[in-house]
A and B are shown apart, each in its own frame.
Chain A
Amino acid sequence: MPTLTYRDALNQALREEMQRDPNVFLMGEEVGVYQGAYKVSRGLLEEFGPQRIVDTPIAELGFAGIGVGAAMGGLRPVIEFMTWNFAILALDQIVNSAAKMLYMSGGQIPMPIVFRGPNGAALQLAAQHSQAWESWVSHIPGLKVVAPATPADAKGLLKSAIRDNNPVMVLEGEMLYNLKGEVPDGEHLVPIGRADVKREGKDVTLICHSKTLAVAQKAADQLAEQDISAEVLDLRSLRPLDDEAILASVRKTNRAVVVEEGWPHAGIGAQLVDLIQRDAFDHLDAPVQRVGQADVPMPYNKHLERAAKASPEKVVAAARRVLYLD
C-alpha cells in the first residue's frame, strides 16, 4: 500500500471525486493559482481548470453562501476555509442556510456540500488562530462532522463527505498535513459515523479524534511501560457519534479518559461523558476524566502554549486517576 502524507491523501480524495463527478468543484481562498494555503489542492487547477477550482476573495460569509446556493442549484461544492478560525465568519451560512435547508423546505432541497479546512491549534499562532470548533458545529442538527486523524481516514472520510447528500464539516489539522501513513489506492471510503479502535487494550479507554490521536497513542505507550493496557478509540466522526463503539469499549475496560483539543466547557468530552454515564453507568469503575485545552484563549509564548494543550503526560495522569493509582 502506498505511503502518503495526510495532505496528499486529501488531495487524492479531491482529485478522484472531481474525476468521478463533474458537478464537484472546489472553492476557497488560494485554492487555485497559489495551489492551496497548505497545498492540499496542489495541481488541481491545472487538471480541472478555473471553473472547478475557484479562487475567492477573502469573504468567508459570501463564498460559503454562494456554495450553499450552488448546492441548491444541483452542484456538489467543496468549500475550503483557510482555517476554521475564519469559518466563524461564515457560521450564518453553515447554521442558518446549509444545516436547515432540507428541513425548512419540507424535504425538498438537499444540501450536498462539504466545508473543510484545518481546525485547532498549530504552533504559536496565538489566540485567534488556535481554536478548535468541533463542539460548535457538532451542536447543529442537519450537519455531519468528521475529524480524521490519519492519512487513510482523511482520504476515506473526505471521499464519503463529498458523496454525502448532507452538509459535512471536515475538520483537518494543520499539524497533521505532513503526517505520513499508508493509504489505499482508489476507491477507499470510510463511512461517516464509524469510530475506529486504533489500539486494543483492556484497562482504560482513551477516546480521541484528530490531532489528539497522536497524544493518546503516546500516552498509551507510556502507560504500557507501567503495565497499563490502554485502548485507543479514534472517534473519526463527531456527528453522528458512533455510540455503540464508544459504549462497547467502555463496557470492556470500565474506565475512560476523553482527550480533545477544544475547551472543556460544553465540549465534545461533555457529550461523551453524558453518553457513557447514561448508557454504561453500571460498567463504570470510575468517573470519566477529560483532558483538553486549558480554559483560556491560546497564549503565544511556547511554554504557556504547551501548558495549555492536551499532552501525553496529562493523559497518563488522567488514566492513572481513573485507575485509582494516584
Chain B
Amino acid sequence: MTATARSPKKAAQPDADLHLKMLRQMLLIRRFEEKAAEAYALGKIGGFCHLYIGQEAVGVGALAALRDDDYVICSYREHGQALVKGISANAVMAELFGKATGCSKGKGGSMHLFDAKKGFMGGHGIVGGHIPLGAGLAFASKYLGNEKVCVCFFGEAAVNIGAFHETMNMASVWKLPVIFLCENNRYGMGTAFERVAAVTDIVEHACSYDMAAELVDGMNVLTVYDATRRAVERARKQSQPTLLEVRTYRFMGHSMSDPLHGVYRTKDEVEEQKARDPITNLANKLKEEGVIDQQGLDALDAEIVAEVEQSVKFADESPDPDPDQLYTDVLAD
C-alpha cells in the first residue's frame, strides 16, 4: 500500500491489506468516473459514456476473488472493472478520449475497453450479447485445462434477452467454469425491472438451469467478495457455473446523456440509496477497526485524485490515432 501504510493498527488486522486495497480501488473508480463526467461535459469524451458510480463494490469485490490470469468480460458499463483488472487509469482515460495510447488504440471507446494480456476481454455494447462470450471463454479454459475461470458481468435488463437463457442452459449442461454476475441496479435505462420482468428475483432463474446461485448485497464490497470467492471455487475446483444476483444501485443516469432522476425514479429514492454508499461504508468500517484514520483516508484520496488528474493530462496530451489506422485491424494476418 502507499499512503495508507501509515495506518497504525494495520498489522493487527489480517484482512487489512485486502480491505485497504478494495477501498483504494473503489475510490479510484469513483474519482475516475467523476473526472470522466467532467471531461464528457467538456466535449473531450464523445458517444455514449456509462458511469459506474454507486456500483463500485460489485466490480471491486468480485475481482478481488480472482487470479490475475482469470477472465473478466463486461457490458458497456465497464470502466471500473477495467481499472481493477489492471489497466492503468492513463490507458482507460486515453481510450475514453479516443487516443492512440488508449487500451484499444482509440478504436473502441468507453464501451469497448480491452486488455487481452490482462484477461480483460472487453466491454461489449449489445445488451446481453457478451453473455455467451463469457461462457465461451470458460469453454476454452476447460478445453485447454488451464483452470482459468471467467466472470461475466451484465445488468439486470440483460436477463430478458434470449442469449442469457441459451447461455445459462449450455453452461450448466457443459459444466463450464463461469460466473454469471448480474449487477441488478434496478433500471434498464429508464425502465424499472419489475415493470418488464415476470420474475423479479433474478436469482430464481438459476432453478430453471439447475445452477448454483446466490443473492448478494452489492453495496457491501466484502459480501460481494465472499460470494464471488465461493463461486470461483465452485468454478475452479468443480467446473460448475454460478449465477450471482448482486443488488446494487447506480447513482448516475444510465449514460451521460440521461437524467439522474425524473420520470422513472425519484430524487428521494436516489438520495436514500446514496446513504448506502459502498465506499463510505467500507471507509467507516475500516476507521472503526482502526485500520485507517481520517488523515490516512484524506491522504489516500489525494493520491488517487492526483493519479486521475494525471490520466486526464495523459489523455489530453496523447496523439489521435494516425489516419492510416482507419484500415488496420479489420482482418488479422
Contact = CB atoms under 8 A, between A and B. Distances in A.
B116 to A, nearest CB: 4
Interface string A202-237: 000000000000000000000000000000000000
B62 to A, nearest CB: 19
A220 B80 CA distance: 63
B140 interface: yes
Interface string A86-100: 000000110011000
B255 to A, nearest CB: 18
Contacts of B132: 61-66, 68-69, 93
A264 B162 CA distance: 32
A266 interface: no
A66 B162 CA distance: 14
A108 B115 contact: yes
B112 A62 contact: no
Interface in B151-193: 162-163, 166-167, 169-170, 173-174
Contacts of B133: 65-66, 68-69, 72, 97
B2 interface: no
Contacts of A69: 73, 132-140
B47 to A, nearest CB: 12
Nearest to B113: A105
A159 to B, nearest CB: 18
A75 B126 contact: no
A109 B121 contact: yes
A70 B73 CA distance: 13
B166 A73 contact: no
Contacts of B112: 104-105
The bracket for how many chain A residues form the interface is: 35 or more
A66 B142 CA distance: 13
A75 B140 contact: yes
B229 interface: no
A12 B132 CA distance: 30
A186 interface: no
A57 interface: yes
A320 B207 CA distance: 66
A204 B207 CA distance: 64
B253 to A, nearest CB: 24
A108 B166 contact: no
A114 interface: no
A141 B330 contact: yes
A106 B329 contact: yes
B295 to A, nearest CB: 41
B135 A73 contact: no
B329 A66 contact: no
Interface in A156-189: 165-166
A71 B169 contact: no
A97 B128 CA distance: 12
B61 interface: no
B137 A107 contact: no
A59 B329 CA distance: 30
Contacts of B269: none
Contacts of A25: 143
A299 interface: no
B163 A62 contact: yes
Nearest to A113: B136
B333 A165 contact: yes
Interface in A32-81: 51, 54, 56-57, 59, 61-75
Interface stretch (B31-39, B102-110, B197-205, B284-292): B102-110
B329 A57 contact: no
B225 interface: no
A108 to B, nearest CB: 4
Contacts of A107: 105, 328-329
Contact of A92 (B71, B108, B116, B129): B129
Contact of A57 (B108, B137, B169): B169
B124 interface: yes
Nearest to A74: B140
Contacts of B162: 61-62
B106 A73 contact: no
A74 B163 CA distance: 22
Interface of A: 23, 25, 51, 54, 56-57, 59, 61-75, 92-93, 96-97, 101-112, 141-142, 144, 165-166
Please give me the 10 A-B residue pairs with the lowest Cβ-Cβ distance, nearest first.
Answer: A69-B136, A65-B132, A73-B140, A62-B166, A106-B105, A69-B133, A105-B114, A59-B166, A106-B104, A107-B329
